[in-house]
Structure 1
């Protein structure tokens, strides 16, 4: 492949210096304008320089799209404030008319009706615009995730330093997108942490971040996500663990999403130190809450929590829990921990229940199961389960590309129901799925890859109708 010096100018000086040692042959010449043109012969088998140039061009285009959407979000905020002011004024006016109807004529009533219709039309228009921006942001995120995955593979195959510059550019775009989505959420979804909805309406397409931090395709067991109740200063902290079987012997923390993708860990905690302690677990259904790892203990069947602040572990039995009933996709998933807006939960099965799911609410102070609900769904038929606002959601496989939320159990009403909320899998087998109430997202560990989903809810009330459900 022949590349001119101009191509290398599109990169960084670091790329030029790194590539220089790979040149197999070179020549220099001058054109009539006096410009010196240098040519280098760089075989495709040595380094995919053309691919990186193309990816940088894509980065410029993504950045342009992102700037447009950021500008739109700012405009939406201004419009929304205007519409809220109009609605407030109309509310006051209608209240005055109700209190003193004799002071207002039919003309006044018609005028108010016209104003209501105008505001309604504006809200419908704004809602359509918001939905379009939401779709564009998701598309941009998918584009960035796919490219980062490609760059990760290039980094494994080729010289890390040469790929790193372009990879960082995309991660900067990823951070910019995250900031835009956060602002979007603040404006249009003020309900994070609040349960004023009627349950899940739909799930987004999978957002694939990249292969696990170990860059090991054999690490098919594991999990990742965010702290469901972060300590102050740790709101952006992410965690990860992966391994080739269901043993749990380590937890790695990252200060934010960027460092997770860059594999730059802030801390790593071992659950086993020879001759000192053996706090290892098993299964793939652990969570982090208040900087504490909740997981299934290995040496004696029960639940354990590892406090990463005090570096101490506590173990408790779960009354009647059986080690015989695991989820459909993986062995040893006998205790499944979950956290939502209302606290900490564990699901399991008992011999008494004949393998049907049992849901327990955990008292976080005493670390005991304080309340129990019996469901009618057979645990080995379930792919995984998670909790949202005190409601249990269970999934099952539809086909190799599709998973489905098929069952719910509401602990408030003790009512269960069979539903159909399909969503796309990245690959056919996954071992970890949990909801995080801090961002209303699902986190999945799918065949060694970090995957996540946005969740849309059925909202009540007029203001919530403007929410896109991030």
Structure 2
């Protein structure tokens, strides 16, 4: 731009000189090449308006100036247009990129907001259930306990100081009577057993054995609560290491002492491979799920043959509806005072836990209940007195039993019974009603828990 202005100024100067020369005479003073001063006097001709050929040089200069001005104008115009186009394109590209980024972040924030809203709703629902249950427990059990104590206090002998409720000896005797093993109360064929009640506490885990290799990270171990025959008794311990693709070995130990030492008295080879940690032992038979199928198998321990097999109708298998820890725990077989159970889920139930009571001989389904407990939201489950209990977490050291479902009433509710995962990877929990214990496999460790049931429910069989 400065070049264009300079050229324009030069043109104006030359034209001004020419005009002034035509209007009046002028005197010029300048030095010659040798440095001497020269005076030049110029007078306009009164007859001739111009001298032929005298302005040719000036015309050529003016023509060149005009062409140069035009060229500079075109160059400057093209440069400005190109610069503006490039700047505009870069600006548009930057705006488009920023818009895409903002749109993506907005979508992600919306998803996070919806997820947090769902979590808040679920927590509010569970809080309401726990609050209702806590209020119920504050009112009902306390009233029963006070009534019972008042009745005993009124009927005690006036001179019997040993009967004082504050006496430590009496408290110890009462606790011992309360903890009488169910095996002393339960007999085969007895339908008048009234030792059942709601589970109110789970003791600390007691470790009995640690697996020697990676195949023992998780598995099944338990004792038969109702053994049949002299070959295997209620002291016999059974164990299956469940890690592997072709799990078939069933280890038998004479008693808990031999089990703790790792000295099996026999190793049985099963006819079909085992799927995961859902097996159980009951009335002289091993019950388990065949690998990669919904087929249930009853294996007779005394004769060592496959006694019966049956597909569990519509049951998910091999990772369709496992517990939260995985392990293909789709079908979990359990035993309690009322018999043999299957804990599983179906496509119809949309992942909610389904409970079926099974015929222990034929494995046919006798009756089924559908709960509203999502199977993959709990770590494990077991049956006690016809009630399903679920474990909240398999890794949290101090977790809880968080739900119970009563098959007698068809009603489920939230509970909060403390439960400990001592070794932080609990993959199997089963109940032995003869011992009133839970058997569990916690990260290579085989442990048991003593449990305590509440007041007996005489209305249950």
Whether these two folds match at TM > 0.5 is yes
Contact 1:246 1:283 in 2 (8 A): no
Aligned runs of 1:255-294 on 2, under 5 Å? 255-271=254-270, 278-294=271-287
Q: Deviations over 1:76-104 (max 9, x none)?
A: xxxxxxxxxxxxxxx9xxxxxxxxxxxxx
Q: Match for 2:373 among 372, 377, 392?
A: 377
- The two structures have a TM-score, normalised by structure 1, of 0.58
State the distance in 2 between where 1:184 and 1:290 align.
27
Contact 1:303 1:335 in 2 (8 A): no
Query: In the alignment, which residue of structure 2 is the partner of 1:304?
Result: 297
Query: In the alignment, which residue of structure 2 is the partner of 1:319?
Result: 313
State the distance in 1 between where 2:219 and 2:236 align.
17
Aligned runs of 1:31-70 on 2, under 5 Å? none
Aligned runs of 1:159-198 on 2, under 5 Å? 191=185, 194-198=193-197
Deviation of 1:445 after TM superposition, in Å, equals 0.6
Query: In the alignment, which residue of structure 2 is the partner of 1:403?
Result: 399
- The two structures have a TM-score, normalised by structure 2, of 0.59
Contact 2:336 2:386 in 1 (8 A): yes
State the distance in 1 between where 2:261 and 2:405 align.
39
State the distance in 2 between where 1:224 and 1:188 align.
20
Deviation of 1:403 after TM superposition, in Å, equals 2.8
Contact 1:382 1:395 in 2 (8 A): yes
Contact 1:238 1:260 in 2 (8 A): yes
Q: Deviations over 1:265-312 (max 9, x none)?
A: 1221112xxxxxx51121111011122111111154321111122222
Q: Which moved more, 1:353-362 or 1:295-304?
A: 295-304
Contact 1:192 1:440 in 2 (8 A): no
Aligned runs of 1:121-160 on 2, under 5 Å? 121=164, 125-130=168-173
Query: In the alignment, which residue of structure 1 is the partner of 2:218?
Result: 221
> Aligned with 2:234: secondary structure?
coil
Are residue 336 (structure 1) and residue 336 (structure 2) matched?
no
> Aligned with 1:230: secondary structure?
coil
> Aligned with 1:248: secondary structure?
coil
Deviation of 1:443 after TM superposition, in Å, equals 0.3
Deviation of 1:406 after TM superposition, in Å, equals 0.6
Query: In the alignment, which residue of structure 2 is the partner of 1:139?
Result: none
Query: In the alignment, which residue of structure 1 is the partner of 2:204?
Result: 205
Deviation of 1:218 after TM superposition, in Å, equals 4.8
Contact 1:409 1:417 in 2 (8 A): yes
> Aligned with 2:451: secondary structure?
strand
Contact 2:310 2:362 in 1 (8 A): no
State the distance in 1 between where 2:377 and 2:316 align.
16
Looking at secondary structure, tell me which structure has more strand per residue. 1
Contact 1:197 1:457 in 2 (8 A): yes
State the distance in 1 between where 2:453 and 2:180 align.
16
Q: Deviations over 1:316-364 (max 9, x none)?
A: 1111111210011132111100000110000110000000000000012
State the distance in 1 between where 2:154 and 2:301 align.
63
Where does structure 1 differ by over 2 angstroms across 4 or more consecutive aligned residues? 110-120, 122-132, 183-198, 243-248
Query: In the alignment, which residue of structure 2 is the partner of 1:115?
Result: 158
State the distance in 1 between where 2:402 and 2:203 align.
16
Deviation of 1:431 after TM superposition, in Å, equals 1.1
Query: In the alignment, which residue of structure 1 is the partner of 2:139?
Result: none
Query: In the alignment, which residue of structure 2 is the partner of 1:94?
Result: none
